[in-house]
Structure formats: structure tokens, C-alpha cells
């Protein structure tokens, strides 16, 4: 009984937090046309976002008519119920539990022209390290991976393994959609492909942080490495 009450309170607080920040934050969308055009064309896609984005984006999944991969843990159960409140279809499973069934469900959805969000470092990390499931599904289904993230100058970062980001109500934030990543059917080097996608998702974090004038890049060694690679590519495009 106590667990049921705790879960109910947890879901109520999550719902209030998500609705409050989703409704009140002042948003700047960067490259949203990518997602909108895929929806209009009936093109399936996988939205890749790191686990520390998940609370805020739950508000937008329903608006974008996206499903979301949610772990089968107790916390995942709470996230699934809250997601449904916001019009999101949860796909239950993760890299550690129920993974194969979840990936099959994800494959079926994106193959039918729908969009689905995946946190490839969840549910337990390491932070900003990509697990292979998202790459396999996108390659087999022939759909792009679209990096998705957000940032703001006035944020709270929870001291959890993922350093969960929480936007403050009425603050300004930027929501960033990166260039689509297509994975060819003939790409055989799975590790090289995984690293390519992982780097693109990390660089999306760098781009949106720099856009808002945030300071998280200096605090995260993996993001600092991604920024260095970004500058190297800009200086030597060929």
C-alpha cells in the first residue's frame, strides 16, 4: 500500500513539473522543420536524446505524435504512466531488461512511418555513452536518427548518474534538432557506426549549450572532446 501511494505521489509531482515547465518556458526551436517535414511525409525516424533530457521532452512527445522507449524498472513504470497522460505511447523495455521485445516494437513503429524517442545511454548509463540498439533499429528499418536536446542558462542539474536537466519555470530555453543521421545497409563496421552516432549526439549537446551560453561543456569531458572534434571538422572539412 505504501509503495502504491509513493508511486502515485511520484507520478503526480512528475506530471505537475513537466506541465509547469512545458507550458511556461519560452522556447526557441532550432531546426524543428526536420521533424515537422518527416511527420508530414510519413517518414519514420528515431529521435536520439541523452537520458538527462527525458523529463522535459515528455511534454513534447505527445505534441510531436512520437512514441518513447521507456525502461521496465519501477521508475520506468512511473514515467510510462505520466507519458500516457501527455499523449505519448510508451514502448516498454531497455538495454538491461526487455530489450529485444522493446526493439522489435520500436522497429515496427518507425517502419510504419512514425517517430519514436530513445535515450541510448539509459536507464543506468554511463552518461553520454551510446548503447547499440538505436543504431541496429535505424539501420534495419532504413530510417534516420535525429539528435534532439535542449538547454537553457537557468537550469537545475540533479546529482544523479545522468545529471538530469530541469528547466526553471518561465525561463528561456533552446530546443535543438540535429542533422539526420542515415545508416547505410552496407555499413558493416558496427563499432565505427556506433561511434559516429554517439559523437553526433554529443555534439548536439555542445551546439545547444553554446547557443544559450551555458557552461556544461567544460564540466563534461566527453562533451569537451566532442566540441574539439566539431572544431576540427570545421577547420578541415575535407
| pLDDT tens profile 31-44 | 999 999 999 999 99
| pLDDT tens profile 98-147 | 467 778 889 999 999 999 999 999 788 899 999 988 999 999 999 999 99
User: Residue 178 belongs to a domain with what CATH number?
Assistant: 3.40.1130
Burial (0-12, 13-18, 19+ Cβ within 10 Å), 153: middle
| pLDDT tens profile 60-78 | 888 888 898 876 666 667 7
Q: With bands split at pLDDT 50, 70 and 90, how would you rate the model's confidence at 49? A: very high
Burial (0-12, 13-18, 19+ Cβ within 10 Å), 161: middle
**pLDDT at residue 173 tops 70:** yes
d(CA 154, CA 95): 32
Per the structure, the count of domains in the chain is 1
Q: Which domain holds residue 130?
A: 2-235
d(CA 226, CA 93): 29
Residue listed under C-alpha cell 536507464: 123
pTM given for the model = 0.90
Amino acid at each position: 500500500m505504501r509503495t502504491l501511494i509513493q508511486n502515485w505521489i511520484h507520478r503526480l509531482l512528475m506530471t505537475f513539473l513537466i506541465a509547469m515547465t512545458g507550458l511556461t518556458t519560452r522556447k526557441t526551436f532550432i531546426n524543428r522543420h526536420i521533424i515537422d517535414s518527416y511527420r508530414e511525409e510519413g517518414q519514420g525516424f528515431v529521435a536520439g536524446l541523452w537520458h538527462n533530457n527525458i523529463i522535459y521532452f515528455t511534454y513534447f512527445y505527445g505534441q510531436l505524435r512520437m512514441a518513447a522507449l521507456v525502461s521496465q524498472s519501477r521508475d520506468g513504470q512511473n514515467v510510462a504512466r505520466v507519458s500516457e497522460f501527455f499523449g505519448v505511447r510508451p514502448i516498454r523495455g531497455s538495454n538491461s531488461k526487455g530489450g529485444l521485445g522493446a526493439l522489435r516494437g520500436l522497429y515496427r513503429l518507425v517502419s510504419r512511418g512514425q517517430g519514436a524517442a530513445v535515450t541510448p545511454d539509459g536507464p543506468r548509463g554511463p552518461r553520454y555513452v551510446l548503447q547499440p540498439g538505436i543504431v541496429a533499429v535505424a539501420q534495419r528499418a532504413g530510417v534516420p536518427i535525429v539528435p534532439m536536446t535542449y538547454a537553457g542558462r537557468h537550469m537545475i542539474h540533479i546529482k544523479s548518474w545522468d545529471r538530469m536537466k530541469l528547466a526553471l519555470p518561465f525561463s528561456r530555453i533552446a530546443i535543438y534538432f540535429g542533422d539526420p543521421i542515415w545508416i547505410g545497409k552496407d555499413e558493416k563496421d558496427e563499432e565505427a557506426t556506433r561511434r559516429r552516432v554517439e559523437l553526433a549526439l554529443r555534439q548536439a549537446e555542445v551546439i545547444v549549450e553554446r547557443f544559450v551560453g551555458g557552461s556544461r561543456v567544460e564540466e563534461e569531458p566527453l562533451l569537451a572532446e566532442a566540441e574539439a572534434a566539431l572544431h576540427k571538422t570545421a577547420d578541415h572539412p575535407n
